[in-house]
Amino acid sequence: MKLYAVRLMDTCEAVGVFWAPDVDELWVMVDAAADPGQCEFCLLKGIAAILWEGRTEARFGKAAPDDEEGLSSILEDATLEWSLGDMVWDEGARWKRLPLFDEPGGGFDIIKRERKDRRSC
């Protein structure tokens, strides 16, 4: 599994941080939140962490799954460290454009591969 940061190409607005085995799976995950053809990604190398330093109200396994306010308050106290922090501040990061749906490596290729895999069973 690899850790990817994804942002919109035109504004650099963060889309998310994704843990995926490859760019195909990343494409599918990003498609749930944004148009992958408008996004670019950066593979985060090295160690990474989200930390809560000192005392915090954050608890794992205690908030209800649909508790949006609780989730937001947990993340307020968090800090991004190592390669996650570098991703926010490093202008020299290597960003690559995610393919459009009909480009090689895009959603259409993924669908074709999945159909071919199903037929071979």
Q: Give the pLDDT confidence of 40-54 residue by residue, as tens digits.
A: 999 998 888 989 888
- pTM of the entire structure? 0.74
Per-domain boundaries in the chain: 2-119
Is residue 39 predicted with pLDDT exceeding 70? Answer: yes
Q: Which pLDDT band holds residue 117 (cuts at 50, 70, 90)?
A: low
Tell me the two tokens of residue 11.
């504004």
Q: What pLDDT is attached to residue 114?
A: 63
Q: Give the pLDDT confidence of 1-28 residue by residue, as tens digits.
A: 999 999 999 999 999 999 999 998 999 9
Mean pLDDT value across the chain: 81
Neighbours of 120 (CB within 10 A): 6
Contact 31, 15 (CB under 8 A): no
